[in-house]
Amino acid sequence: MAEASATEPESRDRGSADRGSTDLGSADRGSADRETAGRQTAGPEAANPEGAGPETAGRERADDAVIATRALTKRYRGGQLAVDGLDLTVPAGSVFGFLGPNGSGKTTTIRMLMGLIEPTSGSARVLGRPMPGAARTVLPGVGALIEGPALYGFLSGRDNLLRYDAADPAADPRTRRARVSAALDRVGLVAAAGKKARAYSLGMKQRLGLAAALLQPRRLLVLDEPTNGLDPQGMREIRALVRELASDGTTVFLSSHLLDEIEQVCTHAAVMARGRLITQGAVADLSAGARGRLVVTTPDPADAARVLKEQGAGDVVAVEDRVTAEPPDHDLAEVNAALVAAGVRVRGFGLERASLEDAFVALTGEGFDVAG
């Protein structure tokens, strides 16, 4: 079943063909394979540290990871443990999805990575340097959208960007206006650039926040819920932008509570719940961890359920004309034949690919929207 889900790239709307065929994350494949699949910008080890032999994997993770944390922990005053012993590794060149319900510690983690919050213990390295210690050299290479955009309402969109750019010591004042215009253009805000930011809609504010993250060429983009408040068209545009940036070699660290969003754009993902990292790895591996389900559509659900049980299927659930079950180990063609032979009128028979949500439920034993 793992193969079945991993070799169906066309079903996951990756946008561009070169990225769609990468079979991202099947860790058993060689890194050269990946290199030919359209990752010219990042080196093979950088693109896939897991692809290296097990004896070197540890060292390469530490060297090439864009973000690497070791036992990162944050306990707020008052004793609340927000992040508990986090070991996170974000490979260079990846589009990394950071998943978890609200209150699971995602934002606290991001704030520690950006030097806004001091960890209680543990360490974090961003772009190979320790945070928050090396903030001054690290952060000019990082564009960030943290917990939604924040703007000066009394300034125009353009003036907001000029101000944020002026705060960056590494930004060249001579190219400031041109870079601001380019960033506005990239997020489609040129027409509204002269308007006061307080008159912006949430979607426009979100775009302006993204523009601020794109003022300079960045090695890492940290985007916390970037499609929040956007309409479906805006969400598609942002996803396209993320893919475009990633294809330029920028590592994108994307937090979201929308699982299908992560599935659509991310190559790697990590899942947090209650301050702990539950799992991390390539997206295909994560959803492969959860088995797909066999789905039979039939007007005879009771008979179908009985036959499926006889065939060795587990966890048979019949809802109206739909019967789902854990697929048995033998050939599904035989299962279908058995159904037909038993007189079940089969209208639909297929394997539903395991989604990341299934993986999440399998990992946590609970629904995704449950706040930790």
Partner 1 sequence: MRAPSPLWAFGLLRSELLTTFRRWRTLALLGVLAAVPVLVGIAVRIETSDGSSVGGAGGGGPAFIAQISNNGLFLVFTALAATLPFFLPMAVGVVAGDAIAGEANAGTLRYLLVAPAGRTRLLLTKYTTVIVFCLAATLVVAASALVVGALLFPVGDLVTISGTRITYGEGLGRALLIALVVAASLVGVAALGLFVSTLTSSGIAAMATTVGLLITVQILDQIPQLHALHPYFFSHYWLSFADLMREPVYWDELVRNLGLQALYAAVFGSAAWARFTTKDITS
| CA–CA distance, 75 with 356 (Å, rounded to integer) | 29
Is residue 33 part of the contact set for partner 1 (CB under 8 A)? no
Is residue 173 part of the contact set for partner 1 (CB under 8 A)? yes
Residues 7-41, buried b or exposed e (16+ Cβ, 10 A)?
Answer: eebeebebbeeebbebbbbbeebebeebbebebee
According to DSSP, residue 13 is labeled -
Shortest distance in whole angstroms from residue 152 CB to partner 1: 6
Is residue 191 part of the contact set for partner 1 (CB under 8 A)? no
Closer residue to partner 1 in complex, CB, 164/349: 164
Nearest of 220, 202, 209 to residue 186 by alpha carbon: 209
Is residue 172 part of the contact set for partner 1 (CB under 8 A)? yes
Is residue 188 part of the contact set for partner 1 (CB under 8 A)? no
Instruction: Supply the angle between the helices 176-186 and 157-166 in degrees, to the nearest 10.
Output: 130
CA distances from 44 to 94, 218, 224 (A): 12, 20, 27
Is residue 162 part of the contact set for partner 1 (CB under 8 A)? yes
Shortest distance in whole angstroms from residue 263 CB to partner 1: 28
**Interface positions, 203-222, toward partner 1 (CB under 8 A):** 212
Nearest of 251, 160, 170, 174 to residue 204 by alpha carbon: 160
How big is the CA angle at 262 (ends 258 and 264), to the nearest 5 degrees?
Answer: 115
Residue in the block written with tokens 């697929």:
327
Number of residues that bind partner 1 (CB under 8 A): 39
Q: Which stretch binds partner 1 (CB under 8 A): 165-173, 178-186, 320-328, 356-364?
A: 165-173
Nearest of 76, 171, 88 to residue 118 by alpha carbon: 76
HEC sequence for 76-109: CCCCCEEEEEECCEEECCCEEEEECCCCCCHHHH
Residue in the block written with tokens 């395991």:
354
Q: Which stretch binds partner 1 (CB under 8 A): 2-10, 92-100, 168-176, 307-315?
A: 168-176
| CA–CA distance, 167 with 366 (Å, rounded to integer) | 43
Shortest distance in whole angstroms from residue 172 CB to partner 1: 8
Shortest distance in whole angstroms from residue 116 CB to partner 1: 4
**Interface positions, 71-130, toward partner 1 (CB under 8 A):** 76, 111, 114-118
Q: Which stretch binds partner 1 (CB under 8 A): 146-154, 284-292, 305-313, 359-367?
A: 146-154
Q: Which stretch binds partner 1 (CB under 8 A): 57-65, 142-150, 251-259, 312-320?
A: 142-150
Is residue 365 part of the contact set for partner 1 (CB under 8 A)? no
Closer residue to partner 1 in complex, CB, 147/237: 147
| CA–CA distance, 69 with 170 (Å, rounded to integer) | 25
Q: Which stretch binds partner 1 (CB under 8 A): 11-19, 166-174, 260-268, 347-355?
A: 166-174
66, 83, 151, 356: which one binds partner 1 (CB under 8 A): 151
Q: Under the rule (CB under 8 A), what is the footprint of partner 1?
A: 76, 111, 114-118, 135-142, 144, 146-155, 162-173, 212
